[in-house]
Amino acid sequence: MSDRPIRDGADGLRGAQGDALGEIDGVFEVVRGDAENVRRLVEQATRGTSAAGTAAELDPVVRGLLADVRRLGDDVGSILAGAADDLDYVVRAPDSEAKPPAAATMAGAPVAETSPGAPGAVALDEVPELPVIKISGEGPEHEDIRKSPPPSTVIVVDEAVVYTTDHLGRVILVRATLVKRPPAPRKPYAQRKLAGKIEMDDGGHLVASVLGGTGDEVNLVPMGRQVNRSQYATLEKRWRKVVKAGGTVEVEIVVRYGAGRRPTYFIVTHGPPGEEPVTDVIRNRPTKRRSQ
């Protein structure tokens, strides 16, 4: 029996996840605007009266309403992502050692949680169903692989960063041990022409070039400008500070997608070896152009 309907179902769920989150973001903006209007009306109605405390009492209600709408978006995204992952697990080879992925809790801002083990602790031989290729991060010899990663492959770059691709050749998992090493050259053309970008997107590095991450497409994904230059950059600065001081940071990045090549969110687990790692979940929100 063909597993194509199941795979189509998984892809459809991921597409629905991206669409649903976009719709809920729109609902959130409408609700926030309505809540602000209600608050202003109450303030005007109670100004100069004995009921002036009503406006202050309304603030927690408004905050609770907005939190409920935001939580709805998080729950929808988590449910759809988990269902898609379960479908992927169903079509894996029966003798596979892989375990079904645990559903991650998605939040609008990074959240800290514990992880069962240090990132990067899983050995390559624990995914025997995928071929493993080792390449260099620079030079012409492996440029075609770096620019167009093959599907369903584990790609080891310079024995330092490990990328795993899905059946579409999209990078879905990155593991790296960050230590002091020379920065890698940036490649602005690859960033500008990256497939899957939308308006106001950057070509974001999964592993920063200043930390040795290659400038080619295997290490680039479309990122909202604010995500790349704020939330993700904050993590990179933290890692760079540790590495610059002579320390080591182990990093694992799970990349989730909808139906296309633009990630919907990143699950980033990181920390020094031997310490309890921290997990940040970052939504890859589109950046809205500011109105003039």
**Which helix (H) or strand (E) covers residue 76, if one does?**
helix 53-90
Alpha-carbon distance of 35 to 63, in angstroms, equals: 9
Amino acid sitting at position 165: T
Per-residue pLDDT of the chain (292 residues), as tens digits, is: 555 666 666 566 556 655 555 555 555 556 666 666 666 666 666 665 554 555 555 566 566 565 555 555 555 555 555 555 555 544 444 443 434 343 333 333 333 333 333 333 334 444 447 999 999 888 888 999 999 999 999 999 999 999 999 999 999 999 999 999 888 888 888 899 999 999 999 999 999 999 989 999 999 999 999 999 999 999 999 999 999 999 999 999 999 998 899 999 999 999 999 899 999 999 999 988 876 5
Q: Please give the structure tokens belonging to residue 46.
A: 């109670």
Q: Which fold has domain 124-283?
A: Extracellular Endonuclease; Chain A (3.40.570)
Alpha-carbon distance of 115 to 113, in angstroms, equals: 7
Mark 29-60 as b/e (b = at least 16 C-beta within 10 Å): eebeeebeeeeeebeeebeeeeeeeebeebee
Q: Please give the structure tokens belonging to residue 132.
A: 């493993």
Alpha-carbon distance of 150 to 170, in angstroms, equals: 9
3-class DSSP assignment, residue 253: strand
Q: Domain limits of the chain?
A: 4-90, 124-283
Mark 154-178 as b/e (b = at least 16 C-beta within 10 Å): bbebeebbbbbbbeeebbbbbbbeb
The pTM for the full model equals 0.59
Amino acid sitting at position 48: G
| pLDDT value of position 194 | 93
